[in-house]
Amino acid sequence: MTKQTKKMKAALAKVDREQFYKVDEAVKILKTCAKDRKFDETIEVSMNLSVDPKHADQMVRGMVSLPNGTGASVRVAVFAKDDKAKDAKAAGADIVGAEDLAEKIKGGEIDFDRLIATPDMMPLVGQLGKVLGPKGLMPNPKLGTVTPDVAKAVKDAKGGAIEFRAEKAGIVHAGVGKASFDEKKIVENVVAFIDAIQKAKPTGAKGNYIKKITLSSTMGPGIKIDLESLAA
């Protein structure tokens, strides 16, 4: 069993494990716990949903643009040619290519966090499914990563758009900001993420769709969120 550090013990002492907190209360606690860290911790949201992603009508997946960004640096690669390639570069894409980019990916050179492609490039990108799929990097039109408007897609990715997807146990989690953010900005990001999950409720979801929400930071405690306060 991992031994708790003094800082972790001090952080845990600030949280009542049996209590459910409002989002702003939880954020305040997490920021207090993180203030003495030597790095800027990530604020993370974890949601337990009453879904089984193995069934197509219970899959929860989508994209949400956080109003205040994530604070993380995102490297974006784009499959595009000619004018679209120029648009992608102008928008701030880190890597732009076509056949040359495909060869690098086949060789295991994946130096990016998000992959975007124009529709005409998908036959080429499709050949990389076995490499990109397991890493969750395959472009998808439903997520806005297969689009003729690559400039907008690149700007969204750089500006704080994050992808979410329910895992096997029906859990969705994501980093929604940094501990250094203003409290209000973190709260706005958390609420925007939860709202996106609510709107992505699949037709096959049964019972209470959202069972549990926990807010935490990289090295901080997990804090249970009061679902009724969110509804209010």
Distance, in Å, from the CA atom of 98 to the CA atom of 80, rounded to the nearest integer, reads: 6
Do 110 and 97 form a contact (C-beta atoms < 8 A)?
no
Burial of 151 (0-12, 13-18, 19+ CB in 10 A): buried
What pLDDT does residue 17 have? 75
Q: What is the 3-state secondary structure (H, E, C) of 48-94?
A: EECCCCCCHHHCCEEEEECCCCCCCCCCEEEECCHHHHHHHHHHCCC
Distance, in Å, from the CA atom of 65 to the CA atom of 72, rounded to the nearest integer, reads: 13
**Cα-trace Rg, the chain:** 19
Burial of 66 (0-12, 13-18, 19+ CB in 10 A): buried
What's the pTM? 0.81
Do 98 and 205 form a contact (C-beta atoms < 8 A)?
no
Pull the structure tokens for residue 216: 């935490």
What pLDDT does residue 4 have? 52
Please report, in tens digits, the pLDDT of each residue of the chain (232 residues total): 444 556 555 655 667 778 999 999 999 999 998 887 889 999 999 999 999 999 999 999 999 999 999 998 899 999 999 999 999 999 999 999 999 999 999 999 999 999 999 999 999 999 999 999 999 899 999 889 999 999 999 999 998 889 899 998 899 999 999 999 999 999 999 999 999 999 999 999 988 999 999 999 998 889 999 998 887 6
What pLDDT does residue 113 have? 93
What pLDDT does residue 142 have? 87
Do 186 and 43 form a contact (C-beta atoms < 8 A)?
yes
Q: Which of 22, 78, 57 is nearest to 224 (CA)?
A: 22
Domains parsed from the chain with CATH numbers: 17-69+162-231 (3.30.190.20), 76-159 (3.40.50.790)
What pLDDT does residue 15 have? 72
